[in-house]
Structure 1
């Protein structure tokens, strides 16, 4: 079968890889000049199944109000950018903030994320691919006892699902991440997930794209998608400046741009862009830098070892498709890095970046067939596209190939929004 994959970010590229491994002829179409040049370019670097949880959680609406008045707040809503899509998405997210919805959504996300980590391990073993990766776990630190206590519910879910985890006091955090010894008065304890991993998403995606090309996948870079052709309940082609690209099946992995693309086909998906920022910092002293990833619970900023660099990423803005860099968001990232790793990196030389995370209101991505017989979706991964990428690509390839997926796919498809 000839499959046309739309998008060459981390999700589109892993989809192409697993489709090719399943024996399909695959063509990837992307407007950029290489893979992973948009949202996958400079993310936090975490492959963190244990932290897979929806933003829609009990207590978040009240927290969001408090964040509006907080310096270095993890969330900003640009009122001037509000439109019907943003308001609809915010309302749907609020509806998912109950205890019951949170439990359902978290289970779906962790089911896929844990499977995805297994696929990463298998892919490394099969190909030898390396991407500044480490398998040394991740550490979430709590600055106050209240934050620590509030993590109890998530810890209980980890225990219920059998996810390896360690609840650490201040001394235990320093043993896991020795550089924190300089600032141990800044936090009270932490949650370590030893099974989590880290790595450079862009490096991985581009290397996997080269492996996919060697396996026969065609990447048509510099090819904007102008429109889509259909006949009845089937897609017949993709309009591009280079002409129509046709196949037997099509996969939409366009991230935040999936929503507008699918509207051409009268398909509504609740995927909205949440803007995030990162700093990529030249490392000055490895001993004063993170060994893996540290997640600052208060500011929602992750700081990750990445070869000879440190990656600090976080914050969330609801601002439509505006990707402009804002000095106040850089200040937040710099504050957290200076606060926790003051001697680790050369901040003045950091590369500042922003990208649009494609979020669903319930946190779970959308994977599966659309109402068109030959159009499939693999999109809406939010902040967890890197974490869920290999699992999502494998599930998509299995379903499209007519095979049962290796995990339960209940609740992953578009049908969950039918009501």
Structure 2
């Protein structure tokens, strides 16, 4: 088959890898001059299957109000008349129940754990390097209330067979000794030993080169204008470089997927949630993180990527605005200075922003559509890096008509029917 992949980020490139390995002719189309220059470029660096969880959770509506009133707010919602945002918020709030949270987290863990196994296999087969570290992730709790709330997550982790460790203050320091100077700010932690870190940009670029060696064609600097369909069948894709035709088409455009598919009568419940990151050169390795920590108070992750620290977090619902106001830099910079002060030089930091394609229930949308030739691999939110290989291998099986290695329940667009 000739498969046309729309989108050249980590989701599109990993899909190209598995489809090419399955023997198909693959074409990847992207508007950027090379792969992974948008949302995949400078994310927080976490490959965090154990930490995979939906934003929609019991108590989140009240927390969101409190967050927006904080000086260093993890969340900001821009006042705007945006029907898509309002629909998304209403749907997200409907998922803020205990039963929905358990169901959605279980679905996300299913994909993320599978993806982690795919990462291990890919490294073994290819030797690919991307500043990766397999030393786990620690959720840091600054209050007893946060520690108590983690018991619900632990219950779901146990039901899904995911390894974890509950850590005391001293237990945290055994894994992250640089936190010794802020030990009094911490009450405990939850360690997820199967989680990893790595540079998504380096990985995607390296894998794209391996894809090219398998015969994958990348058409960069090419704008995707529309998908052409007649009588319920996809006929091709209109681009700035001319019409492109194939046997199958895979949409992997993240936050921009709904815009492309709306003219086909498809409404994808995906909304862009803007996040920020800082990349800071390490000046004192003894004060830097060993792997990744997630500050649960500020919802900011701090990761070690080789000789750099990546600090990522915060959430803004501002549509497709990609501006980087200095006021948002304060959120992520505060956390790295507070926890790992003296580890790097913030004056040399690179500030970046990207749009996370969020679904209301946190689970990506994977699988077929009402058009026999058209498939989806999109809506991964903050976990595109984490779920990339698993999602790509899963959708490859679906496109090839094979039975995926994981259960398909609740992963397709059908779960939003009606």
- Above 0.5 in TM-score? yes
Give, in whole Å, the separation in 2 of the partners of 1:186 and 1:34: 43
The superposition leaves residues 105-158 of structure 1 with CA deviations (integer Å, 9 ceiling, x where unpaired) of 010000010000000011111111010000000111000111111111001111
**What's the TM-score once normalised by structure 2's chain length?**
0.99
Partner of 1:49: 49
Partner of 1:63: 63
Judging changes above 3 Å, is the alpha-carbon distance between structure 1 residues 350 and 390 closer, same or farther for their aligned structure 2 residues? Answer: same
Q: Is the 8 A contact 2:68 2:74 kept in 1?
A: no
Structure 1 counterpart SS, 2:191 = strand
Residue 6 (structure 1) aligned with residue 24 (structure 2):
no
Judge which range, 376-385 or 222-231, deviates more: 222-231
Structure 2 counterpart SS, 1:226 = strand
Residue 127 (structure 1) aligned with residue 107 (structure 2):
no
Structure 1 counterpart SS, 2:53 = coil
Q: Is the 8 A contact 1:173 1:190 kept in 2?
A: yes
Q: Is the 8 A contact 2:227 2:261 kept in 1?
A: no
The superposition leaves residues 235-257 of structure 1 with CA deviations (integer Å, 9 ceiling, x where unpaired) of 11111122101100000000000
Give, in whole Å, the separation in 2 of the partners of 1:13 and 1:234: 25
The superposition leaves residues 327-364 of structure 1 with CA deviations (integer Å, 9 ceiling, x where unpaired) of 11101111111100001111011000000000000000
Partner of 1:251: 250
Q: Is the 8 A contact 1:82 1:320 kept in 2?
A: no
The superposition leaves residues 84-110 of structure 1 with CA deviations (integer Å, 9 ceiling, x where unpaired) of 000000000000001111111010000
Partner of 1:34: 34
User: How far 1:230 sits from its partner (Å)?
Assistant: 1.3
Partner of 2:21: 21
Partner of 2:225: 226
User: How far 1:408 sits from its partner (Å)?
Assistant: 0.3
Give, in whole Å, the separation in 2 of the partners of 1:61 and 1:135: 34
The superposition leaves residues 251-277 of structure 1 with CA deviations (integer Å, 9 ceiling, x where unpaired) of 000000000100011111100000000
Partner of 2:191: 192
Partner of 2:405: 406
Partner of 1:416: 415
Residue 73 (structure 1) aligned with residue 69 (structure 2):
no
User: How far 1:233 sits from its partner (Å)?
Assistant: 1.9
Partner of 2:344: 345
Residue 106 (structure 1) aligned with residue 105 (structure 2):
yes
Q: Is the 8 A contact 1:29 1:220 kept in 2?
A: yes
Q: Is the 8 A contact 1:82 1:319 kept in 2?
A: no
How many residues in Structure 1 have an aligned counterpart in Structure 2? 418
Partner of 1:359: 358
Give, in whole Å, the separation in 1 of the partners of 2:55 and 2:193: 23
**What's the TM-score once normalised by structure 1's chain length?**
0.99
Partner of 2:117: 118
Partner of 2:290: 291
Q: Is the 8 A contact 1:7 1:254 kept in 2?
A: yes
Give, in whole Å, the separation in 2 of the partners of 1:331 and 1:120: 33
Partner of 1:147: 146
Residue 181 (structure 1) aligned with residue 159 (structure 2):
no
Structure 1 counterpart SS, 2:85 = helix
Give, in whole Å, the separation in 2 of the partners of 1:309 and 1:221: 29
Structure 2 spans left out of the alignment, 5+ residues:
none
Q: Which runs of 4+ in 1 moved over 4 A?
A: none
